[in-house]
Amino acid sequence: MHSKVFYERGFEMAQDIGRRDFLRGASVLGAATLGTAVLSGCAPRARANNGGGSASSGSGTGGIDPSKVTWDEEADVVIVGSGSSGTCAAIEAGEAGSDVIILEKSEVLFGGNSALCGGYMLAAGWSTQEQLTGYAGDTPEAFAEQMCRWSQGCGDQDMIREACMKSGEAVDWMIGTGRVYKGASMLPPIWECGDTEADRAPRSVYNHEAYGATEGHMATLRQKVDSMSNIQIKMGAEAAHILMNTDGEAIGVQLVDGSNIKAKQGVVMACASCDNDVDMAHDLGLMQQVWGQTLANAGLQNPGCPDADTNTGDGVRMLREIGADLRLGQACCMNDQLYIGGISDWGMSPAIGRQVNMYESTNSTGLIIVDRSGHRFCQDDAEWGYVIAQASKAAWKNGFNPLDPKTGYIWYICDSANYIFLQARGHTPDANPFGTTFQSDTIEGLAEHIGCKPEALVAEIDRWNSFVDTGVDLDFGRKADMAKIATPPFYCDVMIPGPMGTFAGAKTNINTEVLAIDGEVIPRLYAAGTIAGGNWTGPFYFGCGWAITNTVVWGRKAGQNVSALDPWE
């Protein structure tokens, strides 16, 4: 749903979402304030400095008089969210001489999703690329051309291109901050998006020996922040509202406990989107997220894809209540438990006596993916973000109803000759903890279990086997890991998604300034990271490292730009 259409739906939707998401804020604002604040772009009323009541709002904008607010703390720059984008913004602002406060909702986890991920970066042209990979001649321009094709016209094309052009610089900046990388993997190509063999460049930069909160990307940034005396971290500090003055400038943040934190230069929104609020995702039309989170909530959650529990759409709500425009990216960072199309083989193929495939990606020899009708629906050796997006689309096309998660099932099919790939991941009829692996002596038996017409699944597998014979997949162009499904018993298993983050939130310009619904810049308000991810994603997630690269590129720019402002007082 386009953001302007969302706003035009008016008071009923705003009130509905307000009742769900504003409950804790209601005790601070008063129930009467909530609905009007969302629709008019009015800022909430802050606690007055006389110890009671509320500061008077300015006419027209609904802004507050800062002289009548009790400010509990102050800094030059206030950043909402301690993930990679917020921390990069803090480092840049701090190095420019600004005093910074980082507000983190969690009481224990610094870094949010950035601390839980592998810390990959997706880049071209960093200083050690050839040395690290042996691949010469890659350029940011070639990277940008591919990612713009992958975006299929979605997102902000200038920002996608800029992220690619700055990606090598971002990796070098992380290296300068202390991060060590050990290699880089290629992304499997997507023929539908116009890829060629020339696009098989090693761009997903990794260190498999140092990742997560204690050793990886966020650990490096945290060490840098801790070395800077002008950056303060407040854990368990849940932001509730962006405070606006009568000139329409962002001048601070109010927490859920009613305390007010002054931002003399500006505010940077760097929190997550509505990852764990499936109702908000549904209201915003984020269909990939709704599909994946619905299955996860029903118990089919890929345990290898963690997501911070505190990511419940607070930033989206805060932006909407001041009249910020939204850019609602459909992409969701979400892969399946088998990691189809995943970068790097992770040593699995040699461990089970098989050859690493041409993309050096997750080996899925002899395994195909079908929907509830028993048909293949995509190039199932493509990059994993594309595969999972196509799976979501196929689920909805075949009647997925969030009230009945089983209607959203997508299925893997293989035979006993290649069953070892399911076995290696613990997917067996006896041991699968999800209870989703099924065995049958016939394809018709699989069809009965899936709920599709037997003749449809038999025909689809016969067609697949004919492609294996000729070496050409006439339907989707798959090239890797082709093998027949012919040796009984046969197996099917449910695709188990792992939602790790969505990309709906602030619409920004290339300077990371947040835009209002009339297209004008909201002064002193910036956004970076997944809360602004709709600007730099397309219809699917671009693969390992794309989010972290963008958090570094845009987080740094937000910190540089906000710290260059003169204080408003």
User: Which tokens hold the place of 403?
Assistant: 């009230």
Question: Does residue 357 have a pLDDT over 90?
Answer: yes
Model confidence pLDDT, tens digit, residues 437-452: 999 999 999 999 999 9
Lowest model confidence (mean pLDDT) among 46-50, 151-155, 465-469, 530-534: 46-50
Confidence of residue 242 (pLDDT cuts 50, 70, 90): very high
Contact 237, 110 (CB under 8 A): no
Residue 63: DSSP 8-state: -
What single-letter DSSP state applies at residue 326? E
Does residue 398 register a pLDDT over 80? Answer: yes
Nearest-CA neighbor of 122 among 96, 150, 102, 103? 150
Q: What's the pLDDT band for 23 if we cut at 50, 70, 90?
A: very low
30 has a pLDDT exceeding 60: no
> 510: how many CB neighbours lie within 10 A of its CB?
14
DSSP per position, 180-242: ---EEEEPPP-GGGT--GGG--EEEEE-TTS-STTTSHHHHHHHHHHT-TTEEEEET--EEEE
pLDDT of residue 430: 86
Q: How much is the mean pLDDT over the chain? A: 88
- Measured in degrees and rounded to the nearest 5, phi and psi for residue 406 equal -65, -20
Angstrom distance (rounded) from CA 211 to CA 118? 5
122-138 pLDDT, tens digit each: 999 999 999 999 999 99
Helix (H, G, I), strand (E, B) or coil at 89: helix
For 60-146, list the strands marked E by DSSP.
Answer: 73-80, 100-104, 121-122
pLDDT average, residue stretch 532-556:
96
Amino acid at 96: A
- pLDDT value at 9 more than 50: no
Mean pLDDT to the nearest integer, 448-463: 98
Q: State percent of the chain over pLDDT 70.
A: 89
Neighbours of 355 (CB within 10 A): 11
Whether the bond between 44 and the residue before it is cis, its omega within 30 degrees of 0, is: no
304 pLDDT above the threshold of 60? yes
Neighbours of 230 (CB within 10 A): 16
Helices (H), 377-513: 384-397, 420-423, 443-450, 454-470
- Angle, vertex CA 42, rays to CA 36 and CA 48, nearest 5: 105
| Residue 12, pLDDT score | 30
- Residue 87 confidence (pLDDT): 98
Q: Please state, in angstroms and rounded to a whole number, the distance separating the CA atoms of residues 12 and 460.
A: 46
The confidence band for 305, taking pLDDT boundaries of 50, 70 and 90, is confident
Within a 10 A sphere around the Cβ of 167, how many other Cβ atoms?
A: 28
From residue 479, how far is each of 324, 379, 410, 475, 532 by CA, in Å? 45, 9, 21, 11, 35
Instruction: Please say if the pLDDT value at position 363 is more than 60.
Output: yes
pLDDT at 62: 60
Q: Is the pLDDT of residue 18 over 50?
A: no
Four-CA torsion 558, 498, 299, 407, nearest 10 degrees: 110
Helix axes 314-321, 11-21, angle to 10 degrees: 140
> Taking a C-beta distance cutoff of 8 angstroms, is the pair 270, 555 a contact?
yes
- Rounded mean pLDDT, 513-520: 97
Residue with tokens 């209540």: 321
pLDDT at 390: 98
- Does residue 217 carry a pLDDT above 50? yes
Question: Of 95, 21, 4, 80, which Cα lies nearest the Cα of 560?
Answer: 95
| Among the listed residues 340, 313, 245, the one whose alpha carbon sits nearest the alpha carbon of residue 80 | 313
pLDDT beyond 60 at 8:
no
